[in-house]
């Protein structure tokens, strides 16, 4: 359009000069072609309108292209997960997500745990797992500068021991986990935790069977060390599935732990995956179970706590926050209903403690509850009155 306008201007420049006005009064002068009064050149307004329309069409095209890409990715992801089930396994374990980054797991004192020792064990020949042992706060002063042998001997103290099984993502040095160790230590418990194979600085790759085997190894080692002292198992989130696997196996052999604590538990991994926030955009997609849940089963991942409670024979305490968006509250209550009606748990204390949404404990901040020491004291006291 600019080229055309400039050519029109050039034509006007070549027109011979008009005769003076007084040479012919009857002749009426017309304004030069291409101008109307004192306004802008003809065609300017239409050009602007056309440019705007082109811009609008361009924006609409871009939006359409973005939406097409989003839809393409949306439908490709289920197909990719179905074709490569190992992707779904990685999403369940999230062991590659190491938060916080750049932490040295060999130095628990960097996290304020200066009454904790780090060491490594070999559940099986050829690979090691990283372990932390935090002694009760009452032993803090004595623990300064001590080595692993001192910590192992400290397990013979009168204080009860908790084997803590963490959830997916992160490491044994995760912030909310460290805060829980501190709280439990202040209550007078030894806390022993570790990273399953494939997590943190532990060797190997993750699997449900491997996580359960590592937990069995740690439990038996602690049981030999503590002798007849109380030994409790505490699982959080995905760790509750590991915990019920562990305790089921121990119960089947007639040697269950003294009690089991399940923090933010689910019933089984299929129901948890269906309820997880990540699945929200696909939950109502036809074939959701076939694409996603069957891919989990294809990796031999079940974590069937609702089945395990029918084989567990020790007291069970369930803690769950109503505003938990990762493992919905209704799954914890459903697991409690299954445990309460379990024949194997008949005669054992089974307790469910809900935490109101107004407290904002969500998925991993129950340790902040000022009621927690009383809850544990009442529960463990009923199990072992002489240890409180």
Question: How would DSSP label each residue in 101-152?
Answer: TT--TT-GGGGT-TTEEEEEEEEETTEEEEEEEE--GGGHHHHTT--HHHHH
Helices (H), the chain: 2-13, 44-83, 85-93, 140-143, 148-154, 175-186, 208-226, 238-252, 269-275, 288, 294-298, 305-308, 329-340, 372-383
Among the listed residues 311, 316, 314, the one whose alpha carbon sits nearest the alpha carbon of residue 379: 316
pLDDT at 7: 43
For the segment 257-295, what is each residue's pLDDT rounded down to a tens digit? 999 999 999 999 999 999 988 788 888 888 888 988 999
Question: HSE of 249 in the Cβ direction (CA atoms, 13 Å)?
Answer: 15
Q: Which tokens sit at 81?
A: 């997960």
* Neighbouring residues of 334: CB distance < 8 A, sequence distance ≥ 6: 267, 306
Q: Which tokens sit at 132?
A: 């932390």
For the segment 122-144, what is each residue's pLDDT rounded down to a tens digit? 999 989 999 999 999 999 999 99
Considering only 32-41, 143-152, 188-197, 277-286, which range has the smallest mean pLDDT?
32-41
Among the listed residues 241, 228, 230, 234, the one whose alpha carbon sits nearest the alpha carbon of residue 260: 234
Question: What angle separates helix 238-252 from helix 208-226, to the nearest 10 degrees?
Answer: 60
Among the listed residues 298, 273, 294, the one whose alpha carbon sits nearest the alpha carbon of residue 283: 273
For the segment 64-121, what is each residue's pLDDT rounded down to a tens digit? 888 889 888 888 888 888 888 888 899 999 999 987 788 899 999 999 999 999 999 9
Q: Are 264 and 171 spatial neighbours (Cβ–Cβ below 8 Å)?
A: no
**Annotated catalytic sites, by residue?**
237, 324, 363
| Separation between Cα atoms, residue 57 and residue 14, nearest integer Å | 40
DSSP per-residue letters across 43-82: THHHHHHHHHHHHHHHHHHHHHHHHHHHHHHHHHHHHHHH
Considering only 39-53, 151-165, 200-214, which range has the smallest mean pLDDT?
39-53
Q: Which residues pair with 164 in a beta bridge?
A: 193, 234
| Separation between Cα atoms, residue 291 and residue 120, nearest integer Å | 39
Size (the chain), residues: 388
């Amino acid at each position: 359009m600019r080229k055309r306008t400039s050519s029109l201007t050039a034509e006007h420049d070549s027109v011979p000069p008009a005769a003076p006005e007084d040479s012919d009064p009857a002749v009426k002068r017309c304004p030069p072609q291409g101008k109307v009064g004192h306004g802008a050149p003809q065609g300017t307004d239409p050009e602007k309108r056309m440019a705007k329309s082109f811009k609008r069409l361009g924006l609409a095209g871009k939006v359409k292209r973005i939406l097409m890409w989003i839809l393409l990715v949306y439908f490709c992801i289920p197909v990719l997960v179905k074709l490569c089930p190992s992707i779904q396994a990685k999403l369940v374990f999230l062991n590659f997500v190491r938060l916080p980054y750049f932490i040295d797991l060999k130095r628990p004192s960097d996290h304020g745990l200066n009454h904790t020792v780090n060491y490594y064990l070999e559940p099986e020949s050829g690979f090691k797992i990283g372990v932390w042992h935090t002694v009760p706060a009452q032993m803090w002063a004595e623990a300064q500068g001590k080595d692993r042998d001192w910590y192992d001997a400290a397990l013979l103290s009168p204080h009860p021991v908790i084997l803590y099984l963490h959830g997916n993502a992160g490491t044994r040095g995760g912030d909310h986990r460290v805060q829980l160790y501190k709280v439990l230590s202040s209550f007078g418990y030894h806390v022993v935790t570790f990273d399953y194979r494939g997590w943190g600085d532990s060797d190997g790759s993750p699997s449900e069977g491997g996580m359960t085997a590592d937990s069995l190894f740690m439990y038996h080692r602690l049981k030999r060390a503590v002798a007849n002292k109380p030994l409790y198992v505490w699982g959080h989130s995905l760790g509750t599935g590991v915990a019920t696997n562990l305790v089921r196996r121990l119960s089947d052999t007639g040697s269950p732990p003294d009690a089991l604590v399940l923090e933010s538990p689910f019933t089984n991994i299929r129901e948890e995956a269906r309820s997880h926030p990540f699945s929200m955009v696909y939950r109502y997609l036809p074939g959701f179970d076939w694409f996603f849940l069957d891919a989990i089963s294809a990796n031999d991942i079940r974590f069937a706590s609702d089945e395990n409670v029918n084989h567990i024979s020790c007291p069970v305490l369930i803690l769950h926050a109503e505003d938990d968006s990762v493992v919905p509250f209704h799954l914890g209550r459903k697991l409690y209903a299954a445990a309460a009606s379990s024949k194997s748990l008949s005669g054992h204390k089974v307790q469910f403690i809900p935490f109101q949404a107004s407290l904002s404990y969500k998925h991993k901040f129950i340790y902040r509850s000022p009621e927690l020491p009383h809850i544990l004291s009442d529960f463990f006291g009923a199990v072992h009155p002489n240890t409180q």
